[in-house]
Structure 1
């Protein structure tokens, strides 16, 4: 497996709920990211989540495009996160078959860590 490490900035923009959405329905956010380090590029996606008093969950889909360790292309990520009492269980994986350009056939896992407000990633991946 290869690794790509670096940081990213993320902007989350709320999407207005439909007028007939029931109370307590999941909220939607648009994601916009800029990656730095071994992955230089942009991410765009959408998140659906619930959060109540420190507990919650989210799912998201994201398309990443840019240059990964010298290879230009794109791929999709699928996110699953559960938060409970200050801890979180995250799983972010590359969607099989989503690689394009020099990243066709990519597979792997995106590890995320937030330290001091800085978003850090370690993308563990393999290419054919």
Structure 2
């Protein structure tokens, strides 16, 4: 099942924990989000980021999302890996096996997001629910 939508950043709390060059640094960010579109719900993510002297960055994270896709309700944890080119963040997500609850129990999949500077981003997921058999081409 392919799902798409947007999320809004509700809060972003980022702190430097190591300076490693003139402008290079390592940071940790706690972020809250609100999702709209085919998946509606909330998210909480913890990012670890490494900024280069040119202020581009690479980041990894673990994200918990909770909400609904169609009539399916539940939560799941996503593993994130991405880059920031100074203007836009892009990342891929993978569902962490065994973390789904309620109707998301056993869900698998991957996706990602594109986030230009600001508080909104576009997301996409390709999810397979255990009772759905094969991937569908559209959200329910």
TM-score between both structures, scaled by the size of structure 1? 0.82
Q: Aligned equivalents of 1:121 and 1:9: distance in 2?
A: 11
Higher strand share: 1
With over 3 angstroms needed to count, the CA separation of the structure-2 counterparts of 1:8 and 1:88, relative to structure 1, is closer
Q: Write the mapping of 1:7-86 to structure 2, written as runs, cut at 5 A.
A: 7-10=6-9, 11-15=11-15, 17=17, 22-24=18-20, 26-52=26-52, 53-83=54-84
Count, aligned residues:
123
**Which segments of 5 or more consecutive residues in structure 1 lack a partner in the other structure?**
none
With over 3 angstroms needed to count, the CA separation of the structure-2 counterparts of 1:48 and 1:66, relative to structure 1, is same
Alpha carbon RMSD of aligned pairs, Å? 2.4
The runs of at least 4 aligned residues of structure 1 exceeding 2 Å deviation read: 22-25, 82-91, 113-118
Tell me how far 1:86 sits from its aligned partner: 7.0
Higher helix share: 2
Q: Aligned equivalents of 1:60 and 1:33: distance in 2?
A: 14
**Which segments of 5 or more consecutive residues in structure 2 lack a partner in the other structure?**
131-140
Q: Write the mapping of 1:84-123 to structure 2, written as runs, cut at 5 A.
A: 90-114=91-115, 117=118, 118-123=120-125
Q: Are residue 127 (structure 1) and residue 129 (structure 2) matched? A: yes
TM-score between both structures, scaled by the size of structure 2? 0.76
